[in-house]
Amino acid sequence: MTQIADPGAFQDLFKSAQSGFDAFSVKVGDAEVKLDPAVASQLQGDYLKQFTSLWQELASDKAPALADNRFAAPEWQGNKLHAFTAAAYLLNASFLQSMADAVQAPPKVKQRIQFAVQQTIDAMSPANFFATNPEAHKKIIDTKGESLTKGISHLLADMRKGRISQSDESAFEVGRNLAMTEGAVVFENELFQLLQYRPQTATVFQKPLLLVPPCINKYYILDLQPQNSVVRHLVEQGHTVFLISWRNPDASMAQTTWDDYVDQGVIEAIHTVQEISGQKQINAFGFCVGGTLVSSALAVMAARGEKPIASLTLLTALLDFSDTGVLDVFIDEGHVRMREQTLGRGGLMKGSDMASAFSILRPNDLIWNYVKANYLKGEAPAPFDLLYWNADSTNMAGPMYAWYLRNMYLENKMKEPGSLSICGTQVDLGAIDAPTFIYGSRDDHIVPWTSAFASTRLLNPKKPERNRFVLGASGHIAGVINPPEKKKRNYWVSDTVATDADAWLASATEKPGSWWGEWADFLAEHAGKKVKAPAQYGSDAYPAIEPAPGRYVKAKA
């Protein structure tokens, strides 16, 4: 149990520290970090008042209220000492957050201080430790020690795997109950396999749709299970769907560059779909990094005089990297230079490292929640297809990754016409000549919705009315994977042509349910007339190689 100290001792501590706060100023690199002594004194005073009030509640046998889901269980709420432990933690956490918010520093330095403080706060929750977690105590008594045995077993198993289990991984298998939509591989090279899916309707739209998923994840986030599959929904809508299944990089791909992904990847896929379908123009789609890749490819093709698409869809994708959300804490000149030195000339960025980085962006949801359940309480994680996919990580080719960090995240060259060379060509996103559907998720911590909206200023700059922006609820993944049948969440639309995200939102109308219907209308408008569905996969020149989901998606990092 956490020791309960005399509040008078806290006052003495703050008084002795006051002189230190008066002179608080340190150097972080070239940046000066300061804390106004008047603000520090005010925060200290507020803390002391709140702690004294909390102490008085404890002395009067009144358990403090706990407005935090981590402490919602009766074992916390019903015992005044456990409730006090949690309440004291929350008070300390609030004080530390306020101190971090009060720091005077350049924006990026301040963001990193806030991030580091929040990581420490989340890690030090009494819910994360067996000695201070009453739920774990009750569980061990109720199970006669079995929960402790299981918790240790889960911990040892995860240590062997090198990661925390978030889902019952035995419940899923790619090709058996994930990535189930019927199709075939119709082309492959060293970078990707091209999947074509069997039509689900007697007639299909004339112009096929090519899906470009991110190369930092497995594609089947777009084809989880039938009830939440983007791919299945599209073929049921009458689209002939092609999809890039990126290869999970191994040592043979250690020299692969961004240019390779664009030219031998996306552009090769576009040409192949054109040849198979016999259509000069197709519809293109990019999700997350896939959106950056397909936009890069289309800008290169525009510079080469090609106009291969009738429409473009971008989901939670970055083209303007001015605001990269919480990921910005990882990116600076020193970090990028280190990656260039270690990976820029060859090598692999391990999938496990990337997965760990994304997990610490939401530590309570993706780390500490499972520490408490799996290890302290001995509970096995439940089957969850999305979290199984999240753990099925992919490597990244080092040169591609290092180039992407510098030119996109750090220097943000892509938004400036002619400032970035891809495949030996100066690119201009404004040269991509196609109506565009752009989607952002309101609670996205990886691609802030305002950054997704910023693409409307880069695409079709002379005809901004050709861009349609839709804002959905929830986050980076859950906001996208939102089938209409579930009637979940909401979204916002507006016919106003605005260059400012806040102005657009002020003009938008909120609607219930999934945004997929808005997207379906957009695709139907640009997919051409209905024709008889193809009777076979591929063509004479591109026969089926193997059934979907293919070999590449099954390779482990």
Q: What is the pLDDT of residues 104-143, one digit of tens each?
A: 988 888 999 999 999 999 999 999 999 999 999 999 999 9
Q: Are 258 and 286 in contact (CB under 8 A)?
A: no
What pLDDT score does 32 carry?
81
Looking at the predicted structure, is the pLDDT value of residue 14 above 90?
no
Work out the pLDDT band at 4, boundaries 50, 70, 90: very low
Identify the H or E element spanning 493. Answer: strand 490-493
Token readout for 414 is 């892509």
Q: Note the pLDDT of residue 264.
A: 98
CB 290 within 8 A of CB 316: no
Q: Tell me what pLDDT residue 262 has.
A: 98
- b/e sequence 92-113, b meaning 16+ C-beta within 10 Å: ebebbeebbeebebeeebbebb
Nearest 5°: the CA angle 187, 189, 192 is 80
Active site includes 288?
yes
In terms of average pLDDT, the best of 10-14, 29-33, 225-229, 495-499 is 225-229
- Band of the pLDDT at 3, cuts 50, 70, 90? very low
Mean pLDDT of 265-292: 98
| Side-by-side strand order, sheet with 183-188 | 509-512, 490-493, 467-472, 436-441, 309-315, 282-287, 209-212, 241-246, 192-197, 183-188, 546-547
Contact 151, 375 (CB under 8 A): yes
Give, rounded to a whole angstrom, the gap between the first and last alpha carbons of the chain: 42
pLDDT at 230 over 90: yes
pLDDT at 13 over 60: no
> How do strand 209-212 and strand 241-246 relate by DSSP bridges?
parallel
> Which residues partner with 531 through β-bridges?
204
The β-bridge partners of 532 are 203
Average pLDDT over residues 375-393: 95
**Average of pLDDT values for 446-460?**
97
Q: What is the pLDDT of residues 405-419, one digit of tens each?
A: 999 999 999 999 999
Per the CB < 8 A criterion, the answer to whether 372 and 127 are in contact is yes
Phi, psi (5° rounding) for residue 445?
-95, -5
Q: Would strands 546-547 and 183-188 be described as parallel, antiparallel, or unpaired?
A: antiparallel
**pLDDT for residue 376:** 97
Flag whether pLDDT at 56 surpasses 70: yes
Distance CA(422)–CA(445), nearest Å, equals 28
Q: What is the pLDDT of residue 29?
A: 67
Task: Give the whole-angstrom CA distance, residue 204 versus residue 209.
Answer: 11
Q: Which residues pair with 174 in a beta bridge?
A: 178
Domains of the chain from N-terminus onward: 7-141 (no CATH), 183-326+403-554 (3.40.50.1820)
Q: Give the pair of three-digit tokens for residue 94.
A: 């609030």
Interatomic CA distance for residues 316 and 390, integer angstroms: 17
Are residues 553 and 219 in contact, defined by beta-carbon separation less than 8 angstroms?
Answer: yes
pLDDT in tens, 303-332: 999 999 999 999 999 999 999 988 899 899
Span 497-551, pLDDT tens digits: 988 999 999 999 999 999 999 999 999 999 999 999 999 999 999 999 999 999 9
Per-residue confidence (pLDDT) for residue 25, from 0 to 100: 67
With b for 16 or more beta-carbon neighbours within 10 A and e for fewer, the 522-534 pattern comes to: bbeebbbeeeeeb
List pLDDT tens digits, range 242-273: 999 999 999 999 999 999 999 999 999 999 99
Residue appearing with tokens 């016919």:
495
Q: Which of 174, 288, 438, 446 is catalytic?
A: 288
Mean pLDDT rounded to a whole number for the chain: 93
Residue with tokens 């075939």: 184
The pTM of this model reads 0.91
Q: What is the DSSP letter of 144?
A: T
